[in-house]
Amino acid sequence: MQRLGQCLMALVVAGLTVTCARITVNVYFPAAEIRDAATQIEREVRSKEEVPADSNPAPKPQSSNFWPHFWRVRLSLGPAKAMAQGIDINMTTPAIRQLIASRKQRYASLVPLFNAGALGESNQGLVVVRSLDALALKDKAQAKMLSDQENHDRQQLYRELATANQLPPDKVADIARIFAQVNRQEAQAGWWIQEPNGDWKKK
């Protein structure tokens, strides 16, 4: 009888182990919400309205549940998915506001370079130097410096958005591609833009 009980206990433990191994959590990626946030950020960068770099609007109250602020996770036997409930993308951290302000200050200097075809918007959310032939020697160095600074701020912005919204690091590339899509939309007529398939064209 004792041996039978031990066998039953072993079966129960084995069953629980297999069941636990099947429990997974797939974090929902809020693509639509990120796109809305990207549109708001890019329009702010391009606007002529002055926005202080240290402006930090008070965030909306968040739920104090056990799980992270923006996710409600449902666990069950077998695969499970994270359920998004009223996701509100956080764009108000000091680091994010500083990066937006830095890009906004630089934007007016980038516009003539985009107009001249020296720079283009890549499909990875970055600025690409396309051709400096039409620029004077001093302007070529300026274009390279400005594009490097802009790309540094953009890459840091994508990382900060992921961190502020508790997204895993491997989602930064997805955020960058969404920003690239928004930048194609917001680009002015005549600017070079790169399509998702890698082809370049003038808007």
Give residue 68's pLDDT: 41
In which element (H, E) is residue 178 found?
helix 172-186
Residue 65 within any structural domain of the chain: no
Q: How high is the mean pLDDT of the chain?
A: 80
Give residue 10's pLDDT: 59
Q: Which of 26-40, 46-60, 151-165, 169-183 has the lowest mean pLDDT?
A: 46-60
Residue 129 within any structural domain of the chain: yes
Cβ neighbors of 114 (< 8 A, separation 6 or more) are 120, 187, 188, 191, 192
* Tens of pLDDT, residues 95-137: 999 999 999 999 999 999 999 999 999 999 999 999 999 898 8
Give residue 2's pLDDT: 58
**pLDDT, greater one: 17 or 169:** 169
* Tens of pLDDT, residues 68-93: 433 333 333 333 333 344 578 999 99
Residue 160 within any structural domain of the chain: yes
Contact 93, 164 (CB under 8 A): yes
**pLDDT, greater one: 37 or 23:** 37
Give residue 168's pLDDT: 96
Amino acid letter, 46: R
Is residue 143 over pLDDT 50? yes
Residue 158 within any structural domain of the chain: yes
Residue 76 within any structural domain of the chain: no
Give residue 17's pLDDT: 54
Give residue 26's pLDDT: 54
Residue 151 within any structural domain of the chain: yes
Residue 117 within any structural domain of the chain: yes
Q: Which domain holds residue 120?
A: 29-59+90-202
Q: How many domains does the chain have?
A: 1
What b/e string do you get for 17-46 counting C-beta neighbours within 10 Å, with b at 16 or more?
Answer: eeeeeeeeeebbbbeebbbebbbebbeebe
Residue 79 within any structural domain of the chain: no
